[in-house]
Structure 1
Amino acid sequence: MTDASAPAVSSHHHSPRRPDEDLLAYILLAYGLSWLWLLPLALAGLVVQQGHGWPTHFPALLGPMVAAVLVAARSGSLRRLLTSMVRINVALRWWAWAVSPLLLLGVALIADRIAGRQLPGTADFAQMSGLPLSLGVIGVAAVVLLVNGFGEETGWRGFALPALQRRLSPLRAMLVLSLIWAGWHLPMFLVIDNFRTFTAGTVVGWLLGLMAGSIVLGWLYNRSGGSIALVAVWHAGFDMVTATAAASDLVAAVVSTVVMVQAVVLVGAELSARRRGRPSVLIPQSSQ
């Protein structure tokens, strides 16, 4: 009886449903770990504000990375995940895309100047929700890269996107991931100062921006050969540009609009490639 039961256990272990089970486990764990930090803040009535180190939502941002590492270790894909985190030997054009939010900042500041507005000071870039001003610009940038960038992207693009792409087309996988990503943010509307000021219209714009970001980040991850490092740099740069006190309405609008335009162009190119029977522009490929 023992021998007869062994193949059944082995067969279940290699079941085709296993990738879906890993993805579900990842989503539940990412939500659970992050919400475990955020919900007590909400229940206590605490609000995360710019330039203040407490209360802070930053530990919650590590949830996606911790979940990805745990599930990858369980499924035997941890080495692939860790390798992706440090993949920086990619073509320069992908690095240019990775730092593009900072380049867009320059354009936005020029627009601000033309509009006659006062340009932000260096200290304004150190004023972010959940972080103390004492960190300074370099300190804030480092924390944002490690926590916002790697903390989120190791999970969303490094683990969840490849898992979704095993059963969906890249575009559909990116759109589905944007919904999962949006749901993960829900408790932040209760505890983070700028989220609490959102109106119905702002929420719609935020959702569209998140969807656009999911497409642009998914494209960058796939086409750079699966580099978590690059999408982490992009994510951190975008947050430094749009989520600090340096982000005027015009700066945020210019940067967000350009990202949305990039997403629309990518979707248009992808749909055109499908109609003409050409290779996908979103499909993963080697960085070489």
Structure 2
Amino acid sequence: MAFVLSWLAWTPYVLSENGLGIAHFAFPSALGTTQLLGVLPGAYLGPILSAFAVTAITDGRPGLRAWTGRLAKWRVNWRWYAGVIVAAPAALTIASVALAGAGPVLPSAAVLTAYVPGLLLQMVTTGLAEEPGWRDFAMPRLQRRYGPLTGTLIVGPLWGAWHLPLFLTEWGGWPDVTWRQPVVFVVTTVAFSFVMTWVFNRSGESLPIAMLLHTGVNNYLSIAWSGMFPHLAPTATTHALFVASVAAALILLAATRGRLGYRPPIAAAGTPPR
């Protein structure tokens, strides 16, 4: 459902002058980008709407209360907020330094001023559109049934593949896109999903913390990265995210022995554990 709704809504953007150029119209720019009008409506129609609809149909009001409860779980230890806000830029900076062979340029005052508003905007756009579906709806069900490792290996490729039509638009750098870029992107989302699963589980299934991790990466790469690494090509953001995600995933898989912070629910009395 998420794929169908989003891909249908993205079709005009893909066909427009902002994409393949088959349809001779262009999406207007808002806040300096066409993605707010071209991408965001389809994003909102996909994971979050699908998760709401399927939860309402299959689990009713109790399921919706559990789903919205994770979405509204803001009250977690402040260290999670501090850790997530710092860890994502730090990991990407280290990966970028490794790729560049040189240290970063200190961010400008304009970047520092725009950073927090950009993060808040990402939270209510990207974070709110995607994570109620991938982490809030899918992960609790999948890891109860298959365990956190296999569950993540299911969600990760789906999360990545959901973005694929956008590689035919300005979002993905069209027309200067090769087949390697979407492949690397999907592999990166799989690796990053292990990090997301660990954070989601260890924070007590707090969706705001998972959203903050996701949007922290996007915000750093879109606002701060180019100014801090002007000697790297813009496409190097893909490589930096790939290196950071794979390294973090391998560390967490080794440290947790594949459990990724998951604690199976206690079986009811008289019910054998699964």
Alignment of 1:1-288 (within 5 A): 28=1, 30-47=2-19, 51-53=32-34, 56-62=38-44, 63-74=46-57, 75-76=59-60, 77-99=63-85, 100-104=87-91, 115=102, 118-121=105-108, 123=110, 137-196=115-174, 197-244=176-223, 246-247=225-226, 248=229, 249=232, 252=237, 253-254=239-240, 256-271=242-257, 280-284=259-263
Cα deviations across residues 91-144 of structure 1 (Å, max 9, x unaligned)? 344334422213446657888998376555455689xxxxxxxxx655433221
Relative distance call for 1:117 and 1:214 in structure 2 (3 A) is closer
Pairwise CA distance, 1:188: 0.6
Letter in 1 for 2:38: T
Whether contact under 8 Å (2:166, 2:172) holds in the other structure is no
Contact 2:115 2:219 in 1 (8 A): no
Alpha-carbon contact 1:225-1:284 (below 8 Å) kept: no
Query: Residues of 2 paired with 1:231 and 1:202: CA distance?
Result: 25
* Alpha carbons of structure 1 residues 42 and 186: separation in structure 2 relative to 1, 3 Å: same
Superposed CA offset, 1:170-211 (max 9, x none): 101101111111221111111234443343333333222111
CA distance in 1, matches of 2:260, 2:15: 45
Unaligned runs of 5+ in 2: 20-26, 266-274
Letter in 2 for 1:59: P
Q: Within 1, Cα distance between the matches of 2:160 and 2:5? A: 16
Distance 1:84 1:220 in 2: 13
Unaligned segments of structure 1, at least 5 residues: 1-27, 127-135, 274-279
1:225 is paired with a residue whose SS is coil
Q: 2-side partners of 1:138 and 1:98: how far apart?
A: 14
1:254, distance to aligned residue in structure 2 (A): 4.5
Residues 35 and 187 in structure 1, CA contact (< 8 A), matched pair in contact too: yes
Q: When the two structures are superposed, what TM-score results if normalisation uses the length of structure 2? A: 0.74
**Cα offset, 1:256, TM superposition:** 4.2
Aligned equivalents of 2:52 and 2:38: distance in 1? 23
Count of residues in correspondence between the two structures: 242
- Deviation at residue 166 of structure 1 after TM alignment: 2.9
Q: Distance in 2 between matches of 1:267 and 1:105?
A: 19
CA RMSD in angstroms, aligned pairs only: 3.3
SS at structure 1 position matched to 2:194: helix
SS of corresponding position for 1:41? helix
The 1:265–1:256 alpha-carbon spacing in structure 2 relative to 1, beyond 3 Å, is: same
Relative to structure 1, is the Cα distance of residues 150 and 98 closer, same or farther in structure 2, using a 3 angstrom cutoff?
Answer: farther
SS at the partner of 1:68?
Answer: helix
Q: State, as a whole percentage, how many aligned pairs show the same letter.
A: 29
- Map Cα deviations across residues 9-35 of structure 1 (whole Å, 9 max, x no partner): xxxxxxxxxxxxxxxxxxx2x112212
TM-score (norm 1): 0.71
The amino acid across from 2:209 in the alignment is L
